Structure 1
């Protein structure tokens, strides 16, 4: 789940398109940000999920995590991204706001990053596709399994920050 720019639709709920998961070829252990409703069109391959009523940010995370956090509000992704980086195992989808302070303070700390080719057309809760959003996204990787999946998926431009930092 992700809260994207309200100007692109009537809802702030936008689901990750299935072609991203097909490219990654992974089954995740946990998605801590699933929506309360509309999951019929949600394609996250995961064994366990949490919704807003579960408060995934306050709960412990385990295993390989898929994170498409609420984008809402200024710096709305930051608490989720901070927890994801501390957890150290999974893939996070965040807005590619490369000029934002939070991006420099948090997103570039991920071990790997993949900038998908083109604008990602998210799925609405009714199953239809959104138009081209106002910003791109980046998939951030932490941990061996996630980093290898991002490196081989062919979805876009892959950066291995572990090599840059070395």
Structure 2
């Protein structure tokens, strides 16, 4: 058996040597050699393939540009133009047995839409105000989000109970900073359709979202109900 393999190897090597010395007798092999020399060892693309590839690349760039324009308000500090739908915060209030939060430090206006006893608008600058009681915080989703995360952690350590609605960006430093401070995430299914000021839903957000709880929960019925919605890696 080994002898047969040895003979076949010699024959194959001899054939390759002949083709290399006489490329005109083997035009297919000659073309392959030219392809390797002129294209870095890669096979040449057929003109139709090159055209299709260029068209696909152009379409991809145009779609990326369109998505960036479409979702720019959601991914920047202009997030006050978008309201949180009620199906996000009403179940949280129900689990806590509350009708309203004590504070919304990121409210787009004085009258809502989050049910809260007190609201801070952009003019009030919630980063400079004290937070007390049960706080709902849906911070701007631009570069400013780290400042709001640091503020939430500081107020939590001072005694406030805080629920944040944030992008589930587990690859960011601020996310892990929030988890290290005691945050407990509740990952939301699907993508949130934030509301425009007129109440109509916008396009689905381009990122997943999570509720993160910074809570000092007492050992009572409310804490038991609340704990069912808070578990690392659990979705609802």
State the partner residue of 2:89. 21
Partner secondary structure for residue 127 of structure 2: coil
Please name the residue that 1:164 is paired with. Answer: none
**Paired residue for 2:137?**
67
| Larger mean Cα displacement after TM superposition, 136-145 or 121-130 | 136-145
Distance 2:106 2:174 in 1: 20
Name the structure where helix makes up a greater proportion of residues: 2
| 1:53-72 CA distance string (max 9 Å, x none) | 11111011111110001112
Quick check: 1:81–1:107 contact (8 Å CA) kept in 2?
no
After TM superposition, the score normalised by the length of structure 1 is 0.76
Higher strand share: 1
Select which of 172, 176, 195 maps to 1:104: 176
Within-5 A mapping of 1:76-155: 76-88=144-156, 89-143=161-215, 144=217, 150-153=226-229
Which ranges of structure 2 fall in alignment gaps of 5 or more residues? 1-67
Unaligned runs of 5+ in 1: 162-166
The TM-score, its normalising length taken from structure 2, stands at 0.55
- State which structure, 1 or 2, has the greater radius of gyration over its C-alpha atoms: 2
Q: Aligned-pair distance for 1:52?
A: 0.6
Kindly indicate whether structure 1 or structure 2 has the higher relative contact order, using CA contacts under 8 Å at least 6 residues apart.
Answer: 1
Matched length: 148
